[in-house]
Amino acid sequence: MSRKRVWGEVALVVEEVCLRLEAGEPLAVVCREAEMPHESTLRAWLKRFPDLKVRVDAARAAGLAVQAARPLVIRVRPVVFDEALAEAVCARLAAGSQGLEAVCAASDLPSSATVYRWLADYPDFAAQYGEARRIQAHRMFDEARAIARAATTKSVAVAKLRIDTLKWQAAKLAPRVYGVRVEREPEAPVINVQIRDFSLEDEVEKLRAMVTGAGMCLPEVSALNPIPARRPGMDRHEAAKAGRG
């Protein structure tokens, strides 16, 4: 291919780039599109064809003048609660699997911090937001199924990771539908066991005999202990039976 033919084909592409530069578009934005040459390719062309470099430099200067003439527009994100904006946030959440940060990246919506504050201050909006998240869980389930059907032997590992992530998110957003159900085992019955120490009764009887021999009076054992007192001539088994009676 002759140099003249190459120059002619390159010149057509460069001229299209220059027209967009003159309109005020940045060079990085223009070269980012698929049908446009990469910045490195454009620099190589301009180095090879100096005439085209002069044309591009002039177009960039004209574009800077256009940008300078444009009025400065400062966009302020909304912070005051608005029902229309709240509905827009919920609608965009329910329409796909994007998170709140990605949805709130749009300049026409409030920031995620503002949305979190609205959730704490406005119960009706919190309920609407929760419903949008539950709808989003159903969409995530459908998306996981589509990924599984489209997976190939080469992409199965990546597909599994994406499916597991979507399943986890769906389970958190709608636990009653997609959460893992854990069946609890029945609790064992509690059995209270009371143990009577009959050796203590023998000690009490010995103490009673010592006190009686000293001419003193010992209160009834039943007043000190739930175990009934044992009368003279009654063994401990008979005393226990009398206590139960």
Q: Give the burial class of 215: count Cβ atoms within 10 A of its Cβ; 0-12 exposed, 13-18 middle, 19 or more buried.
A: exposed
Non-local CB neighbours of 139 within 8 Å, separated by 6+ positions:
94, 95, 96, 97
Q: Which residue has the tokens 């780039």?
A: 17
Which stretches within 174-225 are classed as H helix?
175-178, 198-213, 221-224
Place of tokens 């609608």: 91
- pLDDT 10s per residue in the chain (245 long)? 455 546 677 888 889 899 989 988 888 888 887 778 888 888 888 888 888 899 999 999 998 888 888 776 666 788 899 999 999 999 999 988 888 988 888 888 899 999 999 999 999 999 999 999 999 999 888 988 888 988 888 888 888 888 998 888 888 888 888 887 766 766 766 666 565 555 666 676 777 777 676 666 555 544 444 445 455 555 555 655 554 44
- pLDDT of 177 reads 84
> In sequence order, what are the residues at sequence separation of 6 or more whose Cβ sits closer than 8 angstroms to the Cβ of residue 39?
27, 28, 31
Cα 127 from Cα 118, distance rounded (Å): 11
State the pLDDT at residue 120. Answer: 93
Predicted pLDDT of residue 218: 53
Per DSSP, the three-state class of 32 is coil
Nearest to 221 by CA among 200, 195, 199: 200
Give the separation between CA 64 and CA 58, rounded to whole angstroms.
10
Closest residue by Cα to residue 194 from 231, 126, 240 = 240
